[in-house]
Chain A
């Protein structure tokens, strides 16, 4: 970018003056931006802080005015009460993990297989089929829900985890799309080398491509896990007996036995339910950010 202004001493002086005024203006902008960002942070954290605060209160402290932010004696016992019978959140937690991990494994294995096919193998009609995959991404899940429900109830799968987990072993369009993007970025030489060494494509996928794509698999695994961990409509429709409830169902039903008043216990249960995602987030933040950014920009 060559500017055509001649570099006379006067113009240099003028430029340095504007530069210093620009510098101070930049500083003002940074200060304003930071202030707004801090305010935003307070607003964002406000509900979560209140949630934790409520979870540590006695029942008498909950409706107090003016509001109490720090309980006189933190009631850690609320958590024990929420987790043990009759509230049973420990059981719901176990069920939720079973569902989330099972569904995640199913989606991960099947989607990486399918994505490999679309990304790295040549076949006539491939792109037409891939457009179909993309089209199903737009499809609202509620459109297929009723026939699926009828189907699963006919095979007697209501109140089991089968309707929630088995379909996941047939790939998720979204994960297929994301993994395909990643696989396409790998050099083509791997297949050639593998084929020369006498491996077939399944072996190449398993021994070469999968180990190379662990970061991408990690990102989509987290997305899949998070989705199923907090899924509500699936368990709501298919799970009926209380011993099979997930945390979503437990939380939703929690309000009834306490008449909507034991908000301290309800919040203790809520905090328990959001703790695993939050911990996972802080441990694997890079993968989360990667997942959301890739899905946004490449879409």
Chain B
């Protein structure tokens, strides 16, 4: 992300420069970005500050907020469901993000092997990404993962069930209704939409200079070695990018969990699908505990901030940026 630095030296910093033309241009700049400035102040900055204030109050929207210090944070720390929501969301992130990256990378590498009908594959694989996160997909997966009538378990039954093709007596799990299977089920749902990540990798792969592979080949590197020593380092910034956005996205899973739980019994079964944001929603809009929900929002902000910083720190050690090594080879 190249943010260019100001080139001209200036004696004293001022938002309005001296020269007539430069001043007019600067004023036009402020004119153009005014929508964002207003939006930032009204819809971002004020809400962030207000959110922190509300997190220190008892507030149910119908009466005025009452300042209670850090009581909301303390009550969250003692709230079993809150900890469960963090645990569940972390588990989901760990399940879905690395597998999604691996799958996207695998398919991108395969598609990059001069596969015929590349365009067709690309289109079909991208289709789920188009629909991911929509209610329709959540509804669809709750239908195909239905323990009795869903096509997955019907297929398992007709293949290896008691009355199946090979009668092994195996029955499918209860998927979204089983405490232990619910998170893998959500991860499978997320994995279905690996096409977006794959497309990003595919274009990154096509950007790796062929000269590097030729050089590696002359040095006698096998295909596998080429992948780990040329491909992977060259596209590692892109992998990091998809990892960061993936983690931030996974941590904010909401729609599928809300829809599948059916609105009334959120987090079912036994809070095993109580995603972080789902519990935030419950506190805010079904219990109208806006103070507690604001505290949750602030904790989320801190978590996302820490995660992002952690990932950038890790990337400084392990991610290869081409520009750092200019003239190295």
Contacts and interface: CB of A to CB of B under 8 A. Distances in A.
A138 B263 CA distance: 28
B259 A144 contact: no
A146 B54 contact: yes
Contacts of A121: 25-26, 28-29, 32
A66 B158 contact: yes
Given A114-B33, A127-B3, A147-B47, A201 B139 contact: no
B122 interface: yes
A297 B207 contact: yes
Contact of A140 (B4, B42, B263, B301): B301
Interface stretch (B6-14, B73-81, B89-97, B179-187): B6-14
A65 B113 CA distance: 41
A201 B28 contact: yes
Contacts of B263: 252-253, 256
A78 to B, nearest CB: 14
A212 interface: no
Interface string B24-37: 01101111110110
A103 B197 CA distance: 26
A138 B304 contact: yes
B175 interface: no
Contact of B301 (A143, A146, A167, A285): A143
Contacts of B254: 232-233
Interface string A201-212: 110010000000
A296 B6 contact: no
B134 A63 contact: no
A47 B140 contact: yes
A266 B139 contact: yes
A33 B116 CA distance: 10
Max chain B Cβ within 10 angstroms of own Cβ: one of A144, A226, A267, A289:
A144
A277 to B, nearest CB: 5
A144 B143 contact: no
A188 interface: no
Contacts of A140: 248, 251-252, 297, 300-301, 304
A147 B14 CA distance: 34
B17 interface: yes
A65 B157 contact: yes
Interface residues of B, number: 110
Interface stretch (A6-14, A36-44, A80-88): A36-44
B233 interface: no
B170 interface: no
A38 B283 CA distance: 45
Interface in B1-60: 1, 3-6, 10, 13-17, 22, 25-26, 28-33, 35-36, 38-40, 42-44, 46-48, 50-51, 54
Interface string A116-156: 11100111111101111110101111111111111101000
A288 interface: yes
A230 interface: yes
Nearest to A236: B258
Max chain B Cβ within 10 angstroms of own Cβ: one of A145, A260, A293:
A145
A110 B32 CA distance: 9
B179 to A, nearest CB: 20
Contacts of A277: 130-131
A232 B33 contact: no
B193 to A, nearest CB: 9
A37 B211 contact: no
Contacts of A44: 124-125, 127-128, 192, 195
Interface string A1-35: 10100000000000000000000001001100110
Interface residues of A, number: 103
A126 B30 CA distance: 9
A293 B203 contact: yes
A132 to B, nearest CB: 7
B322 interface: no
B280 interface: yes
A123 B133 CA distance: 40
B82 interface: no
Nearest to A255: B262
Given A37-B110, A44-B127, A146 B290 contact: yes
A23 B6 CA distance: 53
Nearest to A191: B25
Contact of A170 (B36, B128, B290, B297): B36
A250 to B, nearest CB: 9
Interface string B275-309: 00100110011000010011001101100110010
Contact of B280 (A125, A138, A142, A292): A142
Given A37-B121, A40-B125, A232-B259, A138 B158 contact: no
A294 to B, nearest CB: 9
B32 A33 contact: no
A151 B127 CA distance: 38
A58 interface: no
Nearest to B164: A66
Given A1-B211, A148-B47, A252-B258, 16 more contacts: A37-B110, A37-B121, A117-B33, A125-B13, A127-B6, A138-B304, A139-B44, A140-B304, A201-B28, A232-B133, A255-B262, A256-B263, A273-B136, A281-B130, A293-B200, A298-B1
27 contacts: A33-B115, A44-B125, A46-B151, A48-B140, A67-B151, A121-B25, A123-B15, A130-B3, A138-B305, A140-B297, A143-B297, A143-B298, A147-B46, A147-B47, A148-B43, A171-B35, A201-B25, A233-B255, A255-B139, A256-B262, A270-B136, A273-B136, A278-B127, A281-B127, A281-B130, A293-B203, A296-B200
